[in-house]
Structure 1
Amino acid sequence: MSTQFTAVEATKSSKPTTGTLKTLAELLPFLRPYRRQFLLAGIALFIAAAATLTIPYAFRQMIDQGFSKVGEGGGHGIEHVNLTFLALFVVAVVLGIATAARFYMVSWIGERVTADIRNAVYAHVVTQSPEFFETTQTGEVLSRLTTDTTLIQSVVGTSISLALRNVLLFAGGLIMLFVTSPILSSIIIVMLILVIVPIILFGRRVRTLSRDSQDRIADASALAGEILNAMPTVQAYTHEQIEANRFSSSVEHAFHTAMRRIRARSLLTMMAILLVFGAIVFVLWLGAQAVLQGEMSGGKLGQFILYASIVAGAIGALSEVLGEAQRAAGATERLLELIAVRSPVSSPEHPLHLPVLDVHGATISFQAVEFHYPSRPQTAALANIHFHVNPGETIALVGASGAGKTSLFQLLLRFYDPQQGEILIEGVPIRQISLHALREVIGIVPQDTVIFSANAMENIRYGRIDASDEEVILAAKQAAAHEFIERLPDAYHSFLGERGVRLSGGQKQRIAIARAILKNPRLLLLDEATSALDAESERLVQQALESAMQGRTTMIIAHRLSTVQRADRIMVLEQGKIIETGTHNELIKLGGTYARLASLQFNLH
């Protein structure tokens, strides 16, 4: 599978890889709002750890003060054993309640923080300019929103709690080991230091493999998303098996990368258990020798063994948590990279307000505009563009594909900024207007119509969310969409399917036109608005558009010259330059490019 160098990957490659703890620490802004919940979870965690650490001491008391006395025939020993077991039951009750409270609180925090991260990433992604989506696959973004956030949820909702619990048990157990036997504890510490260093070093490799594994999963998701969105084309060219094989290859690649991570993590776990428990068994053997020589009581050794088991268990659990943290660190890096991407197009800090627009539409000026697409920096999409549009004027843009017509629309909407020159609306440079205020006065009917997975009513209402049902229906009538919508099974409440699969191309365009009419913009941009319509529908929509164009400035892109003959002015573009300007009749008399195109088209009819 060919890989695509994305905007996210560019950010990734320019950023040094950070350490696990430092990477996870970058989640703190998402954790801070829930300090109270963390405090409650911390209290429950502390109580549970304290209850666990009292158990070995109780067993020591039971052995030394209970069993020993019973062996000597004393009733006091039996009473002490009974009290010890009663105390152990109370400890178990406290431990159960505290553990349940901890589990509830940390699970709540995990779910809440994950939801916040998803919202933050998605809210950031939808503000990106088209340049971002030119170079980043949608599947890559979706993988980060789902798979990566799930890993973070696992860490925040489970692993952090387990890590803190085991840190407390490790620290408390270690202190109690020293209280029980300083000599044996000192030997344990020295040996643990010797075995933990290689574990930490090997853990770095696990983290690298975790990051690679997540990247391969994202690649597979991106490929699947691309193919599923193009399924009619895939099936038309009978490439089902080819695409299935491509996806299988991508999944296998992800599987083999994941297996490398799993093998490394398995070795890490095995190394941790063998080295740590080996060291502890050796020290316990020393303790057993001390009991045999009368230097230590049986209860004291039992207490030491239990505390050593707690410390060893805590270390083993921490090594498991470390493995999860390695994976989550990779996922966190990927999400933070997405959040770190900054759109080259943004609202100014102190935007200027548009003046009250003319009742007849907006005034537009292009002044020496030059523009190169980021993906094609060597080729000028627009070169030295000068023109002025008066309020209420209708301008038609004509030219071959790639001449720069759609680029003019994208600059007007500030999907991109030109490298040179200025674009003004009502005399105000559009770079100095907030993106919301700018796009609010512009309506567009794009060439590639977007239909959302909703009913017809909501698809049209997308043009103005607060519009009433009556206003939606009126816009549909103006766009010649009302009749076919009424014939749908549930009329305006009919679900249109994903990407409008239940509609024809012409019906989709009439929905888009109704959406633009409902918005009631001062500037209307029509990009091949009637290209997918049959002759009868085109006639109806042209009438609707002529009505909709009243009182507003309109710019039309059209390859069918029959749709632009009545424009106030026609501009002919070629290789990003305006080469002819005039009315239909003037350009026919000029005998240039427009006249040649008109001759070809009208002769065909």
Structure 2
Amino acid sequence: MGPGRPPKKLDRTIISRVAAQFRPYRPQVTLIVVLVMISATIGLANPFLLKHLIDHGLRANNLHVITVDSLLTIAATLIATAAGVAYAYMSILVGQGIMRDLRNGLFTHLQAMPLRWFTNVRTGEMQSRITNDVTSVQGAVSDTLANVLNNATTAISTIVAMLILDWRLTALSVGVLPFFALIAAKVGKWADVERRKSQENLAALTATTNEVLNVSGALLTKVSGRYDLAGERFAKENAEVAATQVRLQTIMRGFFSLFGLTFTITPTLVFWLAGYLIIGRRDANLSLGTIIAFTSMQGRLFFPVTQLLNVQVELGSSVSLFGRIFEYLDLVPEIRDAENPTHLTPADIRGEVAFENVGFRYDENQSRPTLENIDLRADAGQLVALVGSSGAGKTSLTYLIPRLYDVTEGRVTIDGHDVRDISLASLGQIIGFVTQETYLVHDTIRENLRYGRSDATDEQIEEAAKAAAIHNHIMSLPDGYATVVGERGYKLSGGEKQRISIARAILKDPRVLILDEATSALDTQSERLVQGALERLMPGRTTFAIAHRLSTVRAADLIVVMSHGRIVERGTHEELLAHGGEYRRLYDLQFED
């Protein structure tokens, strides 16, 4: 089984894992059990009080008995109702707590997945698992425990009470229940298939919505004019969602309509049997109070049984949804901490980075490696420039330092420590990244800057922004640092976003800095501002700078020229020009005019 592949689970294993979600809530579950027992037990008193009221109160013209029985009935109803409200509230608290735990668990676990996994899955699919799937099983988790306990207790106690009143009427009433249990099992299987199809279709619809209805998607649609293409795709997936919902709802409605029909007919049969026993068999043991009390109990039997069968169907159809949730929770992160990782802080690091006979493939089946035979050493504080044509492997090389991917061969070290032995949290503190495409979240500029250092004060944030030459622009905005940047920072220009990214790196104060074509997409003025900010950021750090514009790397301590995943040249700007190789060719192409 490859990394990130979920192991296949049996349904009973999934059910066991669902039950395990209740363990942190044992005190609340215990209280629910007590309240359910109180509600079901006290509620059972009413039919017997009704029998006594009729036989010994109404028929005997005894007002005292009628009054006492009526008051006791009201008291029993109030107590049972209060207990019912209390356990319903507690079950909601437990259910919502489990939903919260599942969402938090999914979110935290998916954050730990490697970059490779995110490149192979649609964002909408992830969102659907966290939101749609968890929401769809909410009822099963929130209501199942209390409903099963309450309805099972009520049904069993009611059957016992009915047997006490008359076993023959009881046999008729409960005789149809096994038939419906079999039907419920079959319906549950049908509903399970349709529920899984529905969630898969809904995930696809969510993914399409997420891809189209955002700033980038809207821009693509508008500039291409292909509104029809996006609309047809959405309409097709929406129709599939509707079709599966129609099938699912039809199955459920048909089942409960059949059960409702039986619920209506059975009391009539009970009255017929009671009449036959009294009139045809001259049975003197059946009183009017017994018959009325018995028929009142049928509601206490059929409604709980209906709910229990509904739980059976809901749980059956929810198992597949829990399976989808657990599939994600069972994904094994390809890149994770070693058994006893080394914990380092920036103060512990000099910043010497070495690649020792490194080889790397994105896919083990690709015919040619992305990187091979890479031997490279960057001394602490050096500026190393990586140049070469597109696809040469420059970005892939830098991805190996913070373990966005792991090497296939060889090793990468920081101060002699294999990066695979350093904790991921430590690597996150030690290494800073400034990429060509800066990602900003839909929040204020201040909170985006705090991604560099969560505990930074406002003064520290402003000092970092000044060093990145973005403070004055921020202060010119109406809301200053409280300005919301919009989705992906679309309210800011490319140069402004880059300088915010640089300010984040300044706040982080990493020992190793990676600049991935940080100025290649900027205009001349923005490039000068960003380049000036970078020059203030790099001193005292080991820096790997990827650049297509060779004019930006002349001052590098070491220039590494890459081609087809290999290092083909290395040296200073003057040495490589004098050598007359690949670097000279790239240089002449850029400056031939």
Name the TM tier (shorter chain).
over 0.9
- Rounded to whole Å, the distance in 2 between the matches of 1:51 and 1:391 is 78
- Rounded to whole Å, the distance in 2 between the matches of 1:327 and 1:542 is 58
Deviations along 1:26-73, one digit per CA (max 9) or x if unpaired, are 233432222222222222222221222112111211222223223xxx
Letter in 2 for 1:132: W
Out of 312, 316, 319, the position equivalent to 1:322 is 312
Letter in 2 for 1:79: H
Out of 265, 277, 298, the position equivalent to 1:290 is 277
- Counterpart in the other structure of 1:422: 411
Structure 1 position 474, deviation (Å): 2.0
Long gaps (5+) in structure 2: none
SS of 1:397's equivalent in the other structure is strand
Structure 1 position 278, deviation (Å): 5.2
- Rounded to whole Å, the distance in 2 between the matches of 1:262 and 1:248 is 21
SS of 2:405's equivalent in the other structure is coil
Could you say if the C-alpha distance between residues 540 and 195 of structure 1 is closer, same or farther in structure 2, counting changes exceeding 3 Å? closer
Pair 1:300 & 2:290 matched:
yes
Out of 323, 343, 363, the position equivalent to 2:333 is 343
Q: Work out whether residues 184 and 312 of structure 2, in 8 Å CA contact, stay in contact via their aligned partners in 1.
A: no
Could you say if the C-alpha distance between residues 515 and 57 of structure 1 is closer, same or farther in structure 2, counting changes exceeding 3 Å? same
Structure 1 position 225, deviation (Å): 0.8
Q: Work out whether residues 269 and 319 of structure 1, in 8 Å CA contact, stay in contact via their aligned partners in 2.
A: no
Deviations along 1:216-272, one digit per CA (max 9) or x if unpaired, are 111111111111232212211112332122112111111101111111112222343
- Counterpart in the other structure of 2:372: 383
- Counterpart in the other structure of 1:3: none
Taking structure 2 as the reference length, what is the TM-score of the superposition? 0.93
SS of 2:554's equivalent in the other structure is coil
- Counterpart in the other structure of 1:217: 202
- Counterpart in the other structure of 1:460: 449
Q: Summarize the alignment of residues 35-114 of structure 1 with structure 2, pairs less than 5 Å apart.
A: 35-70=26-61, 77-114=62-99
- Counterpart in the other structure of 1:74: none
- Counterpart in the other structure of 1:369: 358
Out of 562, 571, 575, the position equivalent to 1:586 is 575
Q: Work out whether residues 129 and 345 of structure 1, in 8 Å CA contact, stay in contact via their aligned partners in 2.
A: yes
Out of 128, 133, 136, the position equivalent to 1:151 is 136
Structure 1 position 374, deviation (Å): 3.8
Letter in 1 for 2:201: R
More divergent stretch after superposition (448-457 vs 297-306): 297-306
- Rounded to whole Å, the distance in 2 between the matches of 1:438 and 1:459 is 20
Q: Work out whether residues 469 and 533 of structure 2, in 8 Å CA contact, stay in contact via their aligned partners in 1.
A: yes
Q: Work out whether residues 216 and 253 of structure 1, in 8 Å CA contact, stay in contact via their aligned partners in 2.
A: yes
- Counterpart in the other structure of 2:562: 573
Q: Work out whether residues 436 and 521 of structure 2, in 8 Å CA contact, stay in contact via their aligned partners in 1.
A: no
- Counterpart in the other structure of 1:259: 246
SS of 2:334's equivalent in the other structure is coil
- Counterpart in the other structure of 1:543: 532
- Rounded to whole Å, the distance in 2 between the matches of 1:377 and 1:284 is 77
Out of 119, 122, 134, the position equivalent to 1:134 is 119
- Counterpart in the other structure of 2:421: 432
Q: Work out whether residues 372 and 378 of structure 1, in 8 Å CA contact, stay in contact via their aligned partners in 2.
A: no
Could you say if the C-alpha distance between residues 289 and 375 of structure 1 is closer, same or farther in structure 2, counting changes exceeding 3 Å? farther
Could you say if the C-alpha distance between residues 67 and 348 of structure 1 is closer, same or farther in structure 2, counting changes exceeding 3 Å? same
Deviations along 1:256-306, one digit per CA (max 9) or x if unpaired, are 011111111122223434456656654553333213233222222223222
Q: Work out whether residues 374 and 566 of structure 2, in 8 Å CA contact, stay in contact via their aligned partners in 1.
A: yes
- Counterpart in the other structure of 2:494: 505
Q: Work out whether residues 7 and 132 of structure 1, in 8 Å CA contact, stay in contact via their aligned partners in 2.
A: no
More divergent stretch after superposition (43-52 vs 387-396): 43-52
Could you say if the C-alpha distance between residues 285 and 381 of structure 1 is closer, same or farther in structure 2, counting changes exceeding 3 Å? farther
Letter in 1 for 2:465: A
Pair 1:174 & 2:167 matched:
no
Deviations along 1:404-441, one digit per CA (max 9) or x if unpaired, are 11111211111111122111111111111100112211
- Rounded to whole Å, the distance in 1 between the matches of 2:562 and 2:270 is 86
Deviations along 1:427-478, one digit per CA (max 9) or x if unpaired, are 1111111001122111110122111222222222221112222222222222
Q: Work out whether residues 398 and 514 of structure 2, in 8 Å CA contact, stay in contact via their aligned partners in 1.
A: yes
SS of 1:366's equivalent in the other structure is strand
Letter in 1 for 2:11: T
SS of 1:516's equivalent in the other structure is helix
RMSD (CA atoms): 2.3
Q: Work out whether residues 191 and 279 of structure 1, in 8 Å CA contact, stay in contact via their aligned partners in 2.
A: no
Taking structure 1 as the reference length, what is the TM-score of the superposition? 0.91
Could you say if the C-alpha distance between residues 387 and 520 of structure 1 is closer, same or farther in structure 2, counting changes exceeding 3 Å? same
- Rounded to whole Å, the distance in 1 between the matches of 2:278 and 2:303 is 24
Could you say if the C-alpha distance between residues 357 and 55 of structure 1 is closer, same or farther in structure 2, counting changes exceeding 3 Å? closer
Aligned residues: percent identity?
A: 34
SS of 1:69's equivalent in the other structure is coil
Letter in 1 for 2:573: H
Could you say if the C-alpha distance between residues 194 and 324 of structure 1 is closer, same or farther in structure 2, counting changes exceeding 3 Å? closer
SS of 1:581's equivalent in the other structure is strand
Out of 7, 15, 36, the position equivalent to 2:8 is 15
- Rounded to whole Å, the distance in 1 between the matches of 2:523 and 2:301 is 78
- Counterpart in the other structure of 2:232: 245
- Counterpart in the other structure of 2:552: 563
Letter in 1 for 2:135: T
Could you say if the C-alpha distance between residues 261 and 17 of structure 1 is closer, same or farther in structure 2, counting changes exceeding 3 Å? farther
Could you say if the C-alpha distance between residues 199 and 256 of structure 1 is closer, same or farther in structure 2, counting changes exceeding 3 Å? same
- Rounded to whole Å, the distance in 1 between the matches of 2:364 and 2:494 is 29
- Rounded to whole Å, the distance in 2 between the matches of 1:574 and 1:287 is 94
